[in-house]
Structure 1
Amino acid sequence: MKIKDQPFYIQSTAVLFGLILLVYVMAQLADILIPLAFAAFLSILLNPLCNWFEKHKIPKGWSILLSMLIAVAVVTGVFYFLSTQIIQFGDALPALEKKFASITLNLKEWVFANFNITIAKQDQMIKEALRNSQGMVGKTLNGLLGTLSIIFLLPVYIFFMLLYKTLILNFIYEVFAEENSKKVSEVLKETKGAIQSYIMGLLIETTIVAILNSSALILLGVKYGVLIGCIGALLNLIPYLGGIIAIALPVLMATVTKDGFSTQVGVIVAYIVIQFIDNNILVPRIVSSKVQINALMSIIVVLLGNQLWGIPGMFLSIPFVAVLKIIFDRIDELKPWGKLLGDNIPTVRITERLKNTRRRKAILPE
């Protein structure tokens, strides 16, 4: 007897067991799957450039290498620009540490005066909090080390994925029955378009947000505004959660380098305006992915991605779910899940539609 013919509790148990097994395997093979996932997305992004070189009579291997070299040159330029800003920040670090220590001491004295908690007790509480957060810090460092390992493996994976592109596509077509080839072709075409538009849109959006952040911080007189603005734009790649962290950095810098609170208020107002522009203008018009994921699911999958694969999982979660939605929308049994992930909000409940249908049937003559 097939699973779909079994009672609901057996079907749900089988699905739950399958999901648990899938998540366990993905967690155990994270060191292998994370670089492969990044390589797959970046290969799809570089594929049009590689095809353009091939159309101009350049051999396939050299076309792939040229495409990868252009990508590496762009990334190197961005990191060189950020490194110059980081060097300037490092030169002023001792003075910033001294000012931060003074502000911290004043804060401790204020807490003692208002809450009667001694400075020694506050230091003890801070040490305990740091001790309890060692596991989180270790997890973050492991995530960063994992990200560094991804950087070394990515070029190899990208090269071979582009080189064996035809072999991989033929395998996907041959796995499924011939009558499903049209659906497979549609899924692959939409997946390629969704990933390309999503990643390119994110790059353009990140550049614009970095310019807006840096301009606002420079006008407000916040030191190292360009560096903090660019970091904030990169953090903004983490949906919904990154923007909150991005606001804290310039507020902290303004607190350390300036007296009073007017600059901090200005930073918060400026970042709220930039976030409004980003969420209501840039994302809908520039990040023009063919698949739209609703806000609730976006937050959930980002948190799940962080729990499963750490920092890389947060970046991979949205495009991964976008691919899943494309597949769900093409399979009749999975269409409800595709609707759950999407951002189209029904105006009428299904129960009301059923009631209206029953009323119409009752009115019609037999």
Structure 2
Amino acid sequence: MAAVKIKDQPFYIQATAVLFGLVLLVYALSVLADILIPLGFAAFLAILLNPLATKLQFLKIPKVVAIILAMLIAILAVAGVFYFLSTQIIQFGDSLPMLQKKFGEITISLKDWIQSSFGITVARQNEMVQEALHNSQSMVGKTLGGVLGTLSIIFLLPVYVFFMMLYKPLILNFLYEVFAEENSKKVSEVLMETKGAIQSYIVGLLIEMVIVAAMNSAALLLLGVKYGLLIGCIGAILNLIPYLGGIIAIALPVLMATVTKDGYSTQLGVIIAYIVIQFIDNNILVPRIVSSKVQINALMSIVVVLLGNQLWGLSGMFLSIPFVAVIKIVFDRIDDLKPWGKLLGDNIPTRHLGDMMRNRGKRKAVLPSTEQ
């Protein structure tokens, strides 16, 4: 009895099979999140650190020692960033009572303005705030859970990264052997492009983060915003979340300027400065620094970031873009999946197939009359 292929079935059967497969995949990803999230971060970090470990091995350093040295260099770099931020946070903590007092005064003035303008009493406003806080408890709990999950990943990452770099030949041999021999060339191309895409993406993000932090901090210091260095660096870190982080980052300096400054000129200056910085970032830094061999269009980037947040929280937002970049590399190498690869990419065709087919039909209809 001949096997029946899914693609030979009616559309509704194909769609049902695809949806059923997607539901099973999402369910598995959700259930195995505690295992897959650390492995995802570890895989990307292992690919990023592999060139450094390879260079150390060329210096006649044993493989295990080279891997440990590469990881120590990365840990020291991250520790330096955290030390810098912690010193700024300590200074921020010293002024926290004053900021709380100022924020309380602004809140009272705002409530009085709302009461005089809209007739909503202060007591009713307090009730509305309490209701909003009560309804947002589950969201806050989910956010805290995501943060705690991210912290737990940090303790597993060094172990996973070390073993992934140590067993790299074993993993690569498995990927080559699991596919048919005639597909070995495609497997090699996918692995090479994946490595290049992830390395260029992560290195580009780090360079972009440093430049954006410098621009944010310089703008805030020039505008006289208190703790501009700390807020500028936090804004650069939030900017790592594609498209959404930059919007969230604007609220921090605006809030700080509102609490510490009189009037609204500083807030306006902050908004204008951040709009200019975002323009430079999106039109100069990202295309020239962050861009890799694989480009994901803006629409799909926003969708996958939101889906990643829904599936894996904060970790999913960071992993979504490089994960989809890897998927696009695979799609571009499989004939039946190439349309999906094009959908994810940012190459916009000048004409769509519908217009081409209609024009072709018009030409066929005109040809008989011209030949007569």
Measured in 1, the distance between the counterparts of 2:51 and 2:362 equals 54
Measured in 2, the distance between the counterparts of 1:205 and 1:243 equals 13
1:358 Cα deviation after fit: 4.2
Q: Partner residue of 1:114?
A: 117
Q: Partner residue of 1:278?
A: 281
Look up the equivalent residue of 1:110 and give its one-letter code. Answer: W
Q: Partner residue of 1:154?
A: 157
Look up the equivalent residue of 1:270 and give its one-letter code. Answer: A
- Partner of 1:286, secondary structure, is helix
Q: Partner residue of 1:249?
A: 252
1:300 Cα deviation after fit: 0.4
Measured in 2, the distance between the counterparts of 1:143 and 1:69 equals 26
Superposed, which structure 2 residues align to 1:289-304 within 5 Å?
289-304=292-307
Q: Partner residue of 2:329?
A: 326
Measured in 2, the distance between the counterparts of 1:360 and 1:61 equals 68
1:359 Cα deviation after fit: 5.1
Q: Partner residue of 1:19?
A: 22
1:138 pairs with one of 141, 151, 156: 141
Measured in 2, the distance between the counterparts of 1:316 and 1:190 equals 17
Q: Partner residue of 2:175?
A: 172
2:198 pairs with one of 187, 195, 198: 195
Structure 2 unaligned segments of length 5 or more: list them: none
1:64-119 CA deviation, whole Å, 9 max, x = no partner?
00000000010000000000000000000000000000000000000011111111
Look up the equivalent residue of 1:218 and give its one-letter code. Answer: L
1:323-359 CA deviation, whole Å, 9 max, x = no partner?
1111111111001101111111111110222234445
- Partner of 2:56, secondary structure, is helix
1:128-159 CA deviation, whole Å, 9 max, x = no partner?
00000000000000000000000000000000
- The alignment status of 1:212 with 2:219, answered yes or no, reads no
Measured in 1, the distance between the counterparts of 2:67 and 2:300 equals 36
Q: Partner residue of 2:239?
A: 236
Structure 1 unaligned segments of length 5 or more: list them: none
- The alignment status of 1:312 with 2:315, answered yes or no, reads yes
- The alignment status of 1:28 with 2:27, answered yes or no, reads no
1:81 pairs with one of 76, 80, 84: 84
1:361 Cα deviation after fit: 5.6
Q: Partner residue of 2:57?
A: 54
Q: CA RMSD in A?
A: 1.1
Q: Partner residue of 2:72?
A: 69
Measured in 2, the distance between the counterparts of 1:198 and 1:211 equals 20
2:261 pairs with one of 252, 255, 258: 258
Q: Partner residue of 1:221?
A: 224
1:360 Cα deviation after fit: 5.4
What is the percent sequence identity of the aligned residues?
77
Measured in 2, the distance between the counterparts of 1:106 and 1:131 equals 24
Q: Partner residue of 2:99?
A: 96
1:218-239 CA deviation, whole Å, 9 max, x = no partner?
0000000000000000000011
1:4 Cα deviation after fit: 1.8
Measured in 2, the distance between the counterparts of 1:356 and 1:58 equals 65
